[in-house]
């Protein structure tokens, strides 16, 4: 019999999945999933799993593994502490049940993000809260501006909704979407803050701003207009690789009535990421796009919006992007591969080696499982109960267990074991699941998270005074000319470090190096050697290495964004040399 579940992966689309006879299919009834899945789930079975727990490299039983885990946690709590480092390998809400145990016994958890935290900080500063722009609004638009988001790769279920619309892509790479767009602005990486401010300035100069809307929702806009006047037009356009014509072309598209801007994580992998996203939001405010049918600015919305956590809260935190593993006796890694996916791999490896004991709790072998003392296999999403939400739409999707038995242990069972061993109260699995399920309500034939609006910000912004808080100042000290920009977007074949990972460095064919040659790529933080793949979608001043490529994060720095405690994967420039 078929069962309905949802894809567990960290992805905008959060697909509804039909499971039957050992096969996974896209739910044809679900309005966004539309009956198809992407390669990650289509090939889900091919990925080899960890089948047995391992201690110091030797197989042990699950009972032995859990008993050892208990000892490591106890010793850590009695000594220099325990760090619980949870990643985004599985996006189910029940993944956080381990937080309940670790927080209750006084362990340290992580704060900030490797992902969208800088942009989210900018959104929250400006709008007061980070709401999802529902796909229904995107569908009703006439013009879609895709700004630092690679929709065909990372958010492919949105593609049908872009059909027939005027499409503008702002991206240093000529992505597949840029290829078919009406306009592609191939700016320099890190050029977005200035481009957004210049667009804002010309919107006001041309009188395209919505004065009635601004009086009600953005009364400080004139101060922001003044700030944009500090940007020297000619020098800055030259610096970001654009012309006045590019500004004119984008403004022309803004003349249409229903405009949507979709911002992705690409624009905010820098220390000033919050300011960039806030400046892009300002364009939406000037044009009066928020709270209007078929309009809006959508970033990765908060997936936790509308969900109350039933789990204990921690009091101590480490920043996720720069966690000091070596300060702890016991580090428990769950659903993550920090030895590859955190920035500054050389530092991370060193810090993990100096931590007392590293435990890895996951599905697949990776750089982190290779250096863990204790490895505990998890169950897949098909073998345990969960519920999920998304940062790309408002649906609440149940994920009931579809298969029984199997290898590994689920997050709830592992947490219950630890809670019982340490005398920490824990509710039944069903009570938590019911708590999450009851956060949903029926809306137009599907279940959505209660309280999430079909048209966010229709009543104004959620700041203290209800007004959009425009950017008041900015810092910009990025070297835009020497060396190469490093861009590290998502790959079509992997989900960060899960599944089929990329192995090349990409540069334009006119970069002066032969296809296939081994290139050493160097930054302030480290180096990596990879074979070169020519890629004429790139600017001449860019080196592209996909997220998940082994070694890419040897090049990226241990820096936090100025706001949002986010990793800054594109903050280092790089040099290249032939090996």
Residues that bind ligand SF4 (CB under 6 A): 7, 9, 11, 13-15, 37-38, 40-41, 156-157
Using CA atoms, how far apart are residues 58 and 52, in angstroms rounded to an integer? 10
CB of 116 to Mo ion, least distance (A): 6
Torsion (CA) 442, 444, 449, 450 in degrees, nearest 10: -60
Contacts of 565 (CB under 8 A, 6+ apart): 111, 112, 113, 117, 319, 320, 321
Partner interacting with residue 521 (select from ligand SF4, Mo ion, ligand MGD, none; CB below 5-8 Å by kind): none
Q: Where are the beta strands (DSSP E) in 67-182?
A: 82-86, 108-111, 143-147, 166-170
* Residue 342, helix vs strand vs coil: coil
With CB under 6 A as the contact rule, the residue among 289, 378, 448, 532 that binds ligand MGD is: 378
Establish if 115 lies at the interface with Mo ion (CB under 5 A): yes
8 Å CB contact between 300 and 293: no
CB of 441 to ligand MGD, least distance (A): 27
Contacts of 163 (CB under 8 A, 6+ apart): none
Establish if 170 lies at the interface with Mo ion (CB under 5 A): no
CB of 299 to ligand SF4, least distance (A): 17
Establish if 90 lies at the interface with ligand MGD (CB under 6 A): yes
Establish if 130 lies at the interface with ligand MGD (CB under 6 A): no
With CB under 6 A as the contact rule, the residue among 68, 100, 131, 149 that binds ligand MGD is: 149
Region of 190 please: left (phi>0), alpha (psi -120 to 50) or beta. Answer: left
Nearer to ligand MGD (CB atom), residue 218 or residue 266: 266
Structure tokens at 510: 């006119």
Q: Chain centroid to CA 232: how far?
A: 33
* Residue 494, helix vs strand vs coil: strand
Nearer to ligand SF4 (CB atom), residue 154 or residue 572: 154
8 Å CB contact between 220 and 466: no
Encoded one letter per residue, x for contact with ligand MGD by CB under 6 A and - for no contact, window 257-296 reads: -------xxxx-----------------------------
CB of 163 to ligand SF4, least distance (A): 18
Using CA atoms, how far apart are residues 490 and 552, in angstroms rounded to an integer? 12
Which range in 26-34, 136-144, 359-367, 431-439 contacts ligand MGD by CB under 6 A?
359-367
Contacts of 180 (CB under 8 A, 6+ apart): 167
Encoded one letter per residue, x for contact with ligand MGD by CB under 6 A and - for no contact, window 486-525 reads: -xxxxxx-xxxxx---------------------------
Q: What secondary structure letter does DSSP report for 379?
A: P
Establish if 553 lies at the interface with ligand MGD (CB under 6 A): yes
* Residue 318, helix vs strand vs coil: strand
With CB under 6 A as the contact rule, the residue among 53, 76, 81, 87 that binds ligand MGD is: 87
Nearer to ligand MGD (CB atom), residue 151 or residue 307: 151
Nearer to ligand MGD (CB atom), residue 225 or residue 499: 499
Nearer to ligand MGD (CB atom), residue 241 or residue 288: 241
Using CA atoms, how far apart are residues 103 and 435, in angstroms rounded to an integer? 20
Partner interacting with residue 90 (select from ligand SF4, ligand MGD, Mo ion, none; CB below 5-8 Å by kind): ligand MGD
Using CA atoms, how far apart are residues 287 and 316, in angstroms rounded to an integer? 42
Establish if 385 lies at the interface with ligand MGD (CB under 6 A): no
Nearest partner of 561 among 119, 172, 262, judged by Cα: 119
Residue showing tokens 């929250």: 124
Which range in 107-115, 387-395, 474-482, 532-540 contacts Mo ion by CB under 5 A?
107-115
With CB under 6 A as the contact rule, the residue among 108, 322, 390, 556 that binds ligand MGD is: 556
8 Å CB contact between 28 and 35: yes
Nearer to Mo ion (CB atom), residue 329 or residue 367: 367
Contacts of 43 (CB under 8 A, 6+ apart): 499, 500
Which range in 117-125, 168-176, 455-463, 557-565 contacts ligand MGD by CB under 6 A?
168-176
Q: What secondary structure letter does DSSP report for 383?
A: G
CB of 410 to ligand MGD, least distance (A): 8
CB of 364 to ligand MGD, least distance (A): 4
Q: Which residues pair with 259 in a beta bridge?
A: 143
Establish if 361 lies at the interface with ligand MGD (CB under 6 A): yes
Nearer to Mo ion (CB atom), residue 115 or residue 568: 115
Establish if 568 lies at the interface with Mo ion (CB under 5 A): no
Establish if 572 lies at the interface with ligand MGD (CB under 6 A): no
Residue showing tokens 């003349």: 255
CB of 445 to ligand MGD, least distance (A): 26
Which range in 21-29, 141-149, 217-225, 346-354 contacts ligand MGD by CB under 6 A?
141-149
Using CA atoms, how far apart are residues 241 and 194, in angstroms rounded to an integer? 11
C-alpha distance from residue 549 to each of 274, 340, 462, 470, 482 (Å): 26, 8, 39, 37, 25
Encoded one letter per residue, x for contact with ligand MGD by CB under 6 A and - for no contact, window 194-233 reads: ----------------------------------------
Residues near ligand MGD (CB under 6 A), total: 56
- CB-hemisphere CA count at 13 Å for 576? 25
With CB under 6 A as the contact rule, the residue among 547, 561, 566, 572 that binds ligand MGD is: 547
* Residue 132, helix vs strand vs coil: coil
CB of 425 to ligand MGD, least distance (A): 23
- CB-hemisphere CA count at 13 Å for 570? 30
8 Å CB contact between 145 and 296: no
Nearer to ligand MGD (CB atom), residue 200 or residue 467: 200
Nearer to ligand SF4 (CB atom), residue 314 or residue 399: 399
Partner interacting with residue 556 (select from Mo ion, ligand MGD, ligand SF4, none; CB below 5-8 Å by kind): ligand MGD
Alpha helices in 81-134 (DSSP H): 97-104, 117-127
8 Å CB contact between 508 and 534: yes
- The end-to-end CA distance of the chain, in Å, is 56
Residues that bind Mo ion (CB under 5 A): 115
Q: Which residues of the chain form contacts with ligand MGD (CB under 6 A)?
A: 10-11, 87-90, 114-116, 147-150, 153-154, 170-173, 175, 189-190, 192, 264-267, 334-337, 341, 361-364, 366, 378, 381, 487-492, 494-498, 547, 552-553, 556, 569-570
């Amino acid at each position: 019999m078929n069962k309905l579940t949802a894809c567990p992966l960290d992805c905008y689309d959060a697909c509804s999945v039909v499971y039957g006879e050992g096969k996974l299919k896209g739910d044809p009834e679900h309005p966004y999933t539309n009956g198809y899945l992407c390669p990650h789930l289509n090939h889900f079975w091919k990925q080899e799993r960890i089948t047995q727990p391992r201690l110091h490299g030797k197989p042990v039983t699950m009972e032995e593994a859990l008993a050892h885990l208990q000892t490591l946690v106890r010793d850590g709590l009695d000594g220099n502490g325990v760090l619980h480092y949870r990643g985004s390998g599985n996006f189910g809400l029940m993944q956080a049940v381990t937080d309940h145990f670790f927080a209750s016994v006084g362990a340290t958890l992580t704060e900030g993000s490797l992902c969208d935290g800088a942009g989210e900080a900018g959104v929250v500063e400006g709008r007061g809260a980070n709401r999802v722009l529902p796909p229904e609004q995107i569908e009703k638009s006439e013009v879609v501006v895709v700004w630092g988001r690679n929709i065909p790769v990372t958010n492919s279920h949105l593609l049908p909704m872009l059909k027939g619309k005027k499409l503008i892509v702002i991206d240093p790479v000529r992505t597949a979407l840029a290829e078919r767009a009406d306009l592609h602005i191939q700016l320099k990486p890190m050029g977005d803050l200035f481009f957004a401010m210049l667009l804002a300035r010309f919107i006001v100069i041309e009188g395209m701003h919505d004065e009635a809307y601004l009086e009600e929702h953005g009364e400080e806009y004139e101060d922001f207009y003044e700030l944009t006047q500090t940007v020297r037009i000619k020098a800055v356009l030259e610096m970001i690789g654009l012309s006045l014509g590019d500004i004119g072309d984008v403004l022309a598209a803004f003349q249409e009535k229903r405009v949507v801007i979709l911002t992705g994580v690409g624009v905010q992998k820098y220390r000033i990421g919050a300011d960039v996203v806030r400046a892009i939001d300002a364009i939406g405010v000037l044009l009066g796009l928020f709270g209007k049918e078929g309009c809006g600015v959508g970033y990765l919305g908060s997936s936790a919006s509308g969900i109350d956590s039933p789990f204990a809260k921690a009091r101590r935190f480490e920043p996720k992007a720069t966690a000091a593993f070596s300060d702890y006796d016991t580090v428990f890694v769950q659903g993550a591969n920090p030895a590859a996916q955190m920035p500054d791999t050389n530092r991370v490896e060193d810090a993990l080696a100096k931590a007392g004991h590293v435990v890895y709790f996951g599905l697949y072998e990776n750089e982190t499982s290779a250096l863990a003392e204790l490895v505990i296999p998890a169950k897949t999403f098909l073998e345990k109960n969960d519920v999920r939400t998304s940062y790309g739409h408002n649906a609440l999707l149940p994920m009931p267990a579809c298969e029984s038995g199997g290898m590994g242990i689920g997050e709830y069972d592992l947490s219950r074991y630890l809670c019982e061993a340490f005398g920490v109260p824990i509710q039944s699995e069903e009570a938590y699941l019911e708590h999450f399920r009851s956060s949903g309500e029926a809306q137009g034939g599907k279940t959505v998270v209660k309280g999430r609006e079909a048209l966010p910000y229709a009543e104004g912004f959620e700041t203290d005074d209800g007004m959009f808080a425009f950017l008041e100042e900015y810092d910009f000290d990025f070297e835009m000319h020497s060396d190469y920009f490093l861009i590290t977007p998502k790959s079509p074949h992997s989900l960060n470090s899960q599944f089929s990972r990329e192995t090349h460095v990409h540069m334009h064919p006119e970069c002066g190096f032969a296809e296939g040659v081994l290139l050493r790529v160097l930054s302030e933080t480290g180096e990596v050697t990879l074979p070169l793949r020519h890629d004429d979608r790139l600017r001449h001043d860019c080196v592209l290495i996909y997220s998940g490529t082994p070694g890419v994060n040897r090049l990226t720095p241990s820096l936090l964004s100025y706001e949002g405690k986010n990793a800054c994967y594109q903050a280092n420039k790089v040099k290249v040399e032939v090996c």
